[in-house]
Protein backbone atom coordinates (compact mmCIF):
# COMPACT_ATOMS: atom_id res chain seq x y z
CA UNK A 1 0.00 0.00 0.00
CA UNK A 2 1.20 3.49 -0.76
CA UNK A 3 1.33 5.87 2.15
CA UNK A 4 -1.51 8.35 2.21
CA UNK A 5 0.18 11.69 1.84
CA UNK A 6 -2.18 14.04 0.05
CA UNK A 7 -0.84 17.34 -1.28
CA UNK A 8 2.78 16.69 -0.47
CA UNK A 9 5.56 17.20 -2.99
CA UNK A 10 6.66 14.05 -4.75
CA UNK A 11 10.13 12.82 -3.70
CA UNK A 12 11.10 12.63 -7.38
CA UNK A 13 10.64 16.38 -7.63
CA UNK A 14 8.19 16.43 -10.53
CA UNK A 15 4.77 17.09 -9.03
CA UNK A 16 2.47 16.49 -6.11
CA UNK A 17 2.96 12.97 -4.79
CA UNK A 18 -0.66 11.91 -5.28
CA UNK A 19 -0.55 13.11 -8.91
CA UNK A 20 2.88 11.59 -9.57
CA UNK A 21 4.59 8.50 -8.15
CA UNK A 22 1.80 7.96 -5.62
CA UNK A 23 -0.44 6.72 -8.44
CA UNK A 24 2.08 4.02 -9.35
CA UNK A 25 2.74 3.06 -5.74
CA UNK A 26 -1.03 2.70 -5.48
CA UNK A 27 -1.19 0.13 -8.27
CA UNK A 28 -1.38 1.99 -11.58
CA UNK A 29 1.30 0.86 -14.06
CA UNK A 30 3.84 3.53 -14.94
CA UNK A 31 3.25 4.50 -18.59
CA UNK A 32 6.91 4.89 -19.52
CA UNK A 33 10.38 4.04 -18.28
CA UNK A 34 11.08 7.53 -16.93
CA UNK A 35 7.92 7.45 -14.80
CA UNK A 36 8.90 4.02 -13.52
CA UNK A 37 12.41 5.26 -12.72
CA UNK A 38 10.96 8.20 -10.82
CA UNK A 39 8.54 6.00 -8.91
CA UNK A 40 11.33 3.61 -7.96
CA UNK A 41 13.44 6.49 -6.65
CA UNK A 42 10.42 7.68 -4.65
CA UNK A 43 9.96 4.14 -3.34
CA UNK A 44 13.52 4.24 -2.00
CA UNK A 45 12.79 7.58 -0.35
CA UNK A 46 9.51 6.42 1.18
CA UNK A 47 10.73 2.93 2.08
CA UNK A 48 8.57 0.74 -0.17
CA UNK A 49 10.66 -2.41 -0.82
CA UNK A 50 7.63 -4.33 -2.12
CA UNK A 51 7.17 -1.79 -4.89
CA UNK A 52 10.86 -2.03 -5.82
CA UNK A 53 10.61 -5.81 -6.08
CA UNK A 54 7.34 -5.68 -8.03
CA UNK A 55 8.87 -3.39 -10.66
CA UNK A 56 12.12 -5.37 -10.96
CA UNK A 57 12.33 -7.75 -13.90
CA UNK A 58 12.15 -11.38 -12.80
CA UNK A 59 15.46 -12.21 -14.52
CA UNK A 60 17.48 -9.77 -12.38
CA UNK A 61 15.32 -9.29 -9.30
CA UNK A 62 16.89 -9.99 -5.90
CA UNK A 63 14.87 -12.12 -3.49
CA UNK A 64 14.76 -9.36 -0.89
CA UNK A 65 15.74 -5.73 -0.56
CA UNK A 66 17.15 -4.24 2.60
CA UNK A 67 16.53 -0.53 2.53
CA UNK A 68 19.16 1.30 4.52
CA UNK A 69 17.29 3.49 6.97
CA UNK A 70 20.44 5.53 7.53
CA UNK A 71 20.29 6.97 4.03
CA UNK A 72 18.65 10.30 3.38
CA UNK A 73 17.77 10.92 -0.25
CA UNK A 74 18.44 14.46 -1.41
CA UNK A 75 17.13 14.55 -4.95
CA UNK A 76 16.81 13.01 -8.38
CA UNK A 77 17.85 14.44 -11.74
CA UNK A 78 16.79 12.66 -14.89
CA UNK A 79 19.50 13.35 -17.46
CA UNK A 80 18.15 11.46 -20.43
CA UNK A 81 15.41 9.00 -21.29
CA UNK A 82 15.51 7.10 -24.56
CA UNK A 83 14.07 4.00 -26.15
CA UNK A 84 11.03 2.59 -27.86
CA UNK A 85 7.93 0.71 -26.81
CA UNK A 86 9.85 -2.41 -25.82
CA UNK A 87 13.00 -1.25 -24.12
CA UNK A 88 14.34 1.98 -22.75
CA UNK A 89 17.23 3.54 -20.90
CA UNK A 90 17.09 6.28 -18.32
CA UNK A 91 20.21 8.15 -17.25
CA UNK A 92 19.92 9.80 -13.88
CA UNK A 93 21.79 11.21 -10.93
CA UNK A 94 20.44 10.43 -7.46
CA UNK A 95 21.94 12.25 -4.51
CA UNK A 96 21.94 10.85 -1.00
CA UNK A 97 23.65 11.22 2.32
CA UNK A 98 24.49 8.48 4.79
CA UNK A 99 24.34 9.60 8.40
CA UNK A 100 26.45 12.70 8.82
CA UNK A 101 28.69 11.81 5.88
CA UNK A 102 29.25 13.72 2.69
CA UNK A 103 26.62 13.77 -0.03
CA UNK A 104 26.93 10.86 -2.43
CA UNK A 105 26.17 11.21 -6.11
CA UNK A 106 24.98 8.09 -7.93
CA UNK A 107 25.15 8.48 -11.71
CA UNK A 108 23.58 5.49 -13.41
CA UNK A 109 22.29 4.39 -16.77
CA UNK A 110 19.37 2.09 -16.07
CA UNK A 111 17.78 -0.32 -18.53
CA UNK A 112 14.08 -1.08 -18.64
CA UNK A 113 11.98 -3.57 -20.57
CA UNK A 114 8.30 -3.52 -21.43
CA UNK A 115 6.61 -6.86 -20.84
CA UNK A 116 3.01 -7.97 -20.29
CA UNK A 117 1.80 -4.39 -20.63
CA UNK A 118 4.07 -2.83 -18.08
CA UNK A 119 7.61 -1.56 -17.59
CA UNK A 120 10.22 -3.32 -15.47
CA UNK A 121 13.64 -2.26 -14.24
CA UNK A 122 16.26 -4.60 -15.69
CA UNK A 123 19.68 -3.44 -14.58
CA UNK A 124 21.95 -0.46 -14.50
CA UNK A 125 25.51 0.66 -15.17
CA UNK A 126 27.06 3.05 -12.72
CA UNK A 127 28.73 5.81 -14.67
ZN1 LIG B 1 7.11 11.45 -8.58
> Would 30 be classed as within a structural domain?
yes
How many Å is the maximal CA-CA distance in the chain?
A: 43
Spacing, Cα 124 to ligand 1 middle (Å): 20
Protein residues with C-beta less than 5 angstroms from the ion ligand 1: 10, 12, 14, 20-21, 38
> Would 3 be classed as within a structural domain?
no
Domain that holds residue 38: 17-126
Spacing, Cα 123 to ligand 1 middle (Å): 20
To the nearest whole percent, how much of the chain has pLDDT over 90? 90
pLDDT tens string 51-108 = 999 999 999 999 999 998 899 999 999 999 999 999 999 999 999 999 889 999 999 9
> Would 97 be classed as within a structural domain?
yes
Number of domains within the chain:
1
Spacing, Cα 125 to ligand 1 middle (Å): 22
- Residue 7's contacts (CB-CB under 8 Å, 6 or more residues apart) are 16, 18
Give the confidence band of 3 by pLDDT, cuts at 50, 70, 90: low
> Would 54 be classed as within a structural domain?
yes
Spacing, Cα 20 to ligand 1 middle (Å): 4
**Residue of 56, 62, 25 whose CA lies nearest to 42:** 25
> Would 31 be classed as within a structural domain?
yes
Distance between CA 6 and CA 58 in Å, rounded?
32
β 103-115/87-98 pair status: antiparallel
> Would 63 be classed as within a structural domain?
yes
Spacing, Cα 69 to ligand 1 middle (Å): 20
> Would 77 be classed as within a structural domain?
yes
> Would 57 be classed as within a structural domain?
yes
Spacing, Cα 49 to ligand 1 middle (Å): 16
Q: Tell me, what CATH number does 53's domain have?
A: 3.10.450.50
Distance between CA 30 and CA 19 in Å, rounded?
12
Query: For residue 20, how many other CB atoms are within 10 A of its CB?
Result: 20
Q: What is the mean pLDDT of residues 19-43?
A: 98
Dihedral sign computed on CA atoms, order 22, 124, 57, 54: negative
Residues 96, 99, 101: CA angle, nearest 5 degrees? 75
Amino acid sequence: MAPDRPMSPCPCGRADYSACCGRYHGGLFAPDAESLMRSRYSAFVLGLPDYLLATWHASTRPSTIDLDSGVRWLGLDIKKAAGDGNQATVEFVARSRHGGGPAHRQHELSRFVHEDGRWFYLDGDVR
